[in-house]
DNA sequence: CGGTGGTGGTTACGCGCGTAACCATCACTG
DNA sequence: CAGTGATGGTTACGCGCGTAACCACCACCG
């Protein structure tokens, strides 16, 4: 009754057929030649025993598993991340593939090794992998599938850059020319922050604006005011701030309020993400709203399409981003 | 050069020994009887070929894999979650075990099936699993390891209940007797929200206070004000609100401000989590701060200790929670 | 010089599965 | 009635690995 797991041999015995028959039936073999009554006997036996095929056996037999490994950067994950995982899990499940998430924390088994051990079908990643990992995976014949490519604007970093550009577009349209960029303190966020920052700088360069001043917003609330004060002192001509995201923006907003700097007349401010709390600040925050579910579905679809070898990925990225003008600009 | 993955046979050939020798060397077999020079030849060959053992083969041979499956509820994951995953990954890696995260999204392969397929060493879970899953796993002889048990107060739900109790303790100490509870709108959050809510109700019951009025805070910012208005109308005698978390609390705070209800004189408010933004509201939010890294380590340690069969888990839970009194109470 | 024990390996097998190759049966045709 | 498909299965093998059982060799002792 402790019951080791039932194997296909158990099912075969229970159904009174050979193991091969069981395998053919349960896999719906393409050129199947199994009579209907037999099929049903097998299926019933499998159900009765609660049979689940051993991935190990199957993997060994056909050389690769049904596992797709999603490589996540070592960064704090938010709502978008979990929705993305969710969406990818669904899409892959529909194709009979199982998603396994690997968080690239420093002490975890390194990605290529884990991928090899699991005999994965492919490695999916939102961001370009380190060259060494890429090389190691390629050497072992493991496919690496990026969520999207630079050329079609589907890459995660392209999406992030576009968010930065949209911040600048809005501020410039409102007449600002001297901008600053507010970075988050957590270094692990740089995978997201760098592309957004790049987008801002590119958009400025294209308009012949000066390079935005940069400052880091500390995690410690009491340290925020000094950081904002320093910016105001170092770059007095700045009239608008692009924040890495809404959280950073709200921290900056707090600092400005404490320093009695009026928003938006003396200083404009814009965030990214459109988190619920952005609507509740005083004044409410202008932001680039990212539709999390849609973005996640979009990235998931792009990734899964690439996995399937599909080169045509139609979804335009504008759909998932839009400006939410409120009172800080 | 496309190179299929090297197997232990390849290593054996390269080193000029038998496959068994390779296996003994690479696994550091307990009663190993392999000469040092041979050992080194094998290790060198393995390194040269970039050999990584196939989990499938190993799993098949010894009946179970080195994988521990972490079952996550279908709920939006936040910072605490990702830190927990991180901490568990580290702890397990130190024991040669690999953590694989399974998000229980509706369309994913069901947990018992995945566990069986992976021939997992154990299933780890933060919350009690559905009875059906538990039974299925037990039937297949798969260990289920909870993060902690009710009896020692280490269970996740006990931790969450304690947060609710602490909210009440603080409000009662400030003289409040008629409380309300603000629930989040997303139904997936109920795994977290129910225990916190339970803690609040228990603490009230123990003090012979009336059962707190309950209301749900909608995600849509424009719907928050009506929700708060409805609460004020339905339960006019309420003088303090426990919010599910800081986000909900900040939404409620916004609603109260719009309705010109003074905080904290007419209505007190307390959150849970201690997110950075809680410090930036006007007035700043009183909250139960959860040290995310410490909590994650604590839960991870408890879970890993249980996995190792250790019954003695010393860490007291008080360490990771503390009251952060600010201006809303 | 036959036995004895230790050293350093090798050979052989099975884990659970997919699948190619094979085979028995039977209805039908020339 | 021998020959021919079609039908409905079965037998046999190998995937990569761990490990029990075995074996060749040599030093040493009685």
Last residue of a domain, one of B98, B124, B146: B146
- Give the 3-state secondary structure of residue B39: helix
pLDDT at A286 over 60: yes
B9 touches strand D (CB under 7 A): yes
- A296-309 residue pLDDT tens: 888 888 778 878 77
Please, are residues A121 and A92 in contact by the beta-carbon 8 Å criterion? no
pLDDT at A2 over 60: no
Helix (H) or strand (E) holding B99: strand B98-103
Residue B164 to residue B141: CA distance in whole angstroms: 37
Q: Looking at the domain assignment, is residue A221 inside a domain?
A: yes
Residue B81 to residue B89: CA distance in whole angstroms: 12
Specify the number of domains making up chain A.
3
**Predicted local distance difference test score (pLDDT) of residue A175:** 97
Residue A263 to residue A239: CA distance in whole angstroms: 10
Highest mean pLDDT among A84-93, A118-127, A191-200, A302-311: A191-200
Which of these ranges, A178-182, A315-319, B107-111, B198-202, has the smallest mean pLDDT? A315-319
Residue A74 to residue A189: CA distance in whole angstroms: 8
Do residue B54 and residue A79 have CB atoms under 8 angstroms apart? no
Confidence of residue B1 (pLDDT cuts 50, 70, 90): very low
B4 touches strand C (CB under 7 A): no
Confidence of residue A47 (pLDDT cuts 50, 70, 90): very high
- B103-148 residue pLDDT tens: 777 766 678 878 887 888 999 888 888 888 888 888 878 888 887 6
Residue B138 to residue B140: CA distance in whole angstroms: 5
Confidence of residue B92 (pLDDT cuts 50, 70, 90): confident
pLDDT at B2 over 60: no
Same domain, A170 and A282: yes
- Any bridge partners for residue A223, and if so which? none
* Protein-nucleic contacts, chain B 5-34 to strand C, CB < 7 Å: 17-21, 24, 33-34
pLDDT at B318 over 70: no
List the CATH number of the domain containing B43: 1.10.260.40
Q: Quick one: average pLDDT of A21-49?
A: 89
Please, are residues A140 and B50 in contact by the beta-carbon 8 Å criterion? yes
Q: Quick one: average pLDDT of A92-109?
A: 78
Radius of gyration of chain B (CA): 26
Same domain, A160 and A127: no
Q: Looking at the domain assignment, is residue B312 inside a domain?
A: no
Q: Looking at the domain assignment, is residue B101 inside a domain?
A: yes
Same domain, B183 and B267: yes
**Predicted local distance difference test score (pLDDT) of residue B279:** 95
A64 touches strand C (CB under 7 A): no
DSSP state, residue B207: T
Alpha-carbon distances, residue B293 vs A303, B83, B299 (angstroms): 32, 6, 10
Last residue of a domain, one of A114, A146, A178: A146
**Predicted local distance difference test score (pLDDT) of residue A3:** 61
List the CATH number of the domain containing A223: 3.40.50.2300
Interface of A with B in 109-128 (CB under 8 A): 109, 112-114, 116-119
Same domain, B174 and B193: yes
Q: Looking at the domain assignment, is residue A46 inside a domain?
A: yes
Q: Over the range B149-158, which residues count as b (16 or more CB within 10 Å of their CB) and which as e?
A: eeebebbbbb
Q: Chain C positions under 7 Å from a protein CB?
A: 7-12, 14-21
DSSP state, residue B285: P
Highest mean pLDDT among A15-19, A35-39, B242-246: B242-246
B35 touches strand D (CB under 7 A): no
CA A245 to chain centre: 16
Q: Looking at the domain assignment, is residue B71 inside a domain?
A: yes
How many angstroms separate the CA of residue B209 from the nearest CA in chain A? 32
Q: Looking at the domain assignment, is residue B301 inside a domain?
A: no
Same domain, A68 and A49: no
**B183 at A interface, C-beta within 8 A:** no
**Predicted local distance difference test score (pLDDT) of residue A126:** 84
**A96 at B interface, C-beta within 8 A:** no
**Predicted local distance difference test score (pLDDT) of residue B149:** 65
List the CATH number of the domain containing A138: 3.40.50.1980
- Give the 3-state secondary structure of residue B105: coil
Which of these ranges, A43-47, A194-198, B91-95, B200-204, has the smallest mean pLDDT? B91-95
Same domain, A120 and A43: no
Same domain, B41 and B83: no
CA A71 to chain centre: 10
Which of these ranges, A43-57, A199-213, B135-149, has the smallest mean pLDDT? B135-149
Q: Phi, psi at residue B41, to the nearest 5°?
A: -60, -45
- For residues A98 and B185, which has the higher predicted lDDT (pLDDT)? B185
How many angstroms separate the CA of residue B17 from the nearest CA in chain A? 23
Q: Quick one: average pLDDT of A262-277?
A: 96
Q: Quick one: average pLDDT of B227-239?
A: 97
Same domain, B98 and B15: no
- A223-258 residue pLDDT tens: 999 999 999 999 999 999 999 999 999 999 999 999
Alpha-carbon distances, residue B184 vs B193, B199, B221, B233 (angstroms): 8, 16, 13, 20
Interface of B with A in 6-65 (CB under 8 A): 50, 52-57, 59-60, 65
- For residues B62 and B262, which has the higher predicted lDDT (pLDDT)? B262
Residue B270 has, within 13 A of its CA and on its CB side, a CA count of: 27
Q: Looking at the domain assignment, is residue A311 inside a domain?
A: no
Residue A100 to residue A86: CA distance in whole angstroms: 11
Q: C1' nearest to CA of A42: which nucleotide?
A: D9
Same domain, B162 and B284: yes
Q: Quick one: average pLDDT of B263-291?
A: 95
pLDDT at A1 over 50: no
Q: Looking at the domain assignment, is residue B70 inside a domain?
A: yes
Nearest-CA residue to the C1' of C12?
B20
Q: Provide the domain limits for residue B128.
A: 62-146
Alpha-carbon distances, residue A124 vs A102, A108, A299, B78, B86 (angstroms): 10, 17, 11, 22, 19
Please, are residues A323 and A288 in contact by the beta-carbon 8 Å criterion? yes
Alpha-carbon distances, residue B82 vs A189, A207, B296 (angstroms): 13, 39, 9
pLDDT at B282 over 70: yes
Same domain, A66 and A173: no
pLDDT at A142 over 70: yes
Same domain, B39 and B67: no
Last residue of a domain, one of B89, B115, B146: B146
Task: Please enumerate in sequence order all residues whose Cβ is within 8 A of that of B96, keeping only pairs 6 or more positions apart, or say none.
Answer: B66
pLDDT at B313 over 80: no
Same domain, B97 and B210: no
Alpha-carbon distances, residue B289 vs A236, A249, B84, B252, B277 (angstroms): 36, 22, 17, 18, 12
**Predicted local distance difference test score (pLDDT) of residue A67:** 86
- For residues A196 and B148, which has the higher predicted lDDT (pLDDT)? A196
- In whole angstroms, D19 C1' to B34 CA is 15
**A232 at B interface, C-beta within 8 A:** no
Helix (H) or strand (E) holding A163: helix A156-173
């Amino acid at each position: 009754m402790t019951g080791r797991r039932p194997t296909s041999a158990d099912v075969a015995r229970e159904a009174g057929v050979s193991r091969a028959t069981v395998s053919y039936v349960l896999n719906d073999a393409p050129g199947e030649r199994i009579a209907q009554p037999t099929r049903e006997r097998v299926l019933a036996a499998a159900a009765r025993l609660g049979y689940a095929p051993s991935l190990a056996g199957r993997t060994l037999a056909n050389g690769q598993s049904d596992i797709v490994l999603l490589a996540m950067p070592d960064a704090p994950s938010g709502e978008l991340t979990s929705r993305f995982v969710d969406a990818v899990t669904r899409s892959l499940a529909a194709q009979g593939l199982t998603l396994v998430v690997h968080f690239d924390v420093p002490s975890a088994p390194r990605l290529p090794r884990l991928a090899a051990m699991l005999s994965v079908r492919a490695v999916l990643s939102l961001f370009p992998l380190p060259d060494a990992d890429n090389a190691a995976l390629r050497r072992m014949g493991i496919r690496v599938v990026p969520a999207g490519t630079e050329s079609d604007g589907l890459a995660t970093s392209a999406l992030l850059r576009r968010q930065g550009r949209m911040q600048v577009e809005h501020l410039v349209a409102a007449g600002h020319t001297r901008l600053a960029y507010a970075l988050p303190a957590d270094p692990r966020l740089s995978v997201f922050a760098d592309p957004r920052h790049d987008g801002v700088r590119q958009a400025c360069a294209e308009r012949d604006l000066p390079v935005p001043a940069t400052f880091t917003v500390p995690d410690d609330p009491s340290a925020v005011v000094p950081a904002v004060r320093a910016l105001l002192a170092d770059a007095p001509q700045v009239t608008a701030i692009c924040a890495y995201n809404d959280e950073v923006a709200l921290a900056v907003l707090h600092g400005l309020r404490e320093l009695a700097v009026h928003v938006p007349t003396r200083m404009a401010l814009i965030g990214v993400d459109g988190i619920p709390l952005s609507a509740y600040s005083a004044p409410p925050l202008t932001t680039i709203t990212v539709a999390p579910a849609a973005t996640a579905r979009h990235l998931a679809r792009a990734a899964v399409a690439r996995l399937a070898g599909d080169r045509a990925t139609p979804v335009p990225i504008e759909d998932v981003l839009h400006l939410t003008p409120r009172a800080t600009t």
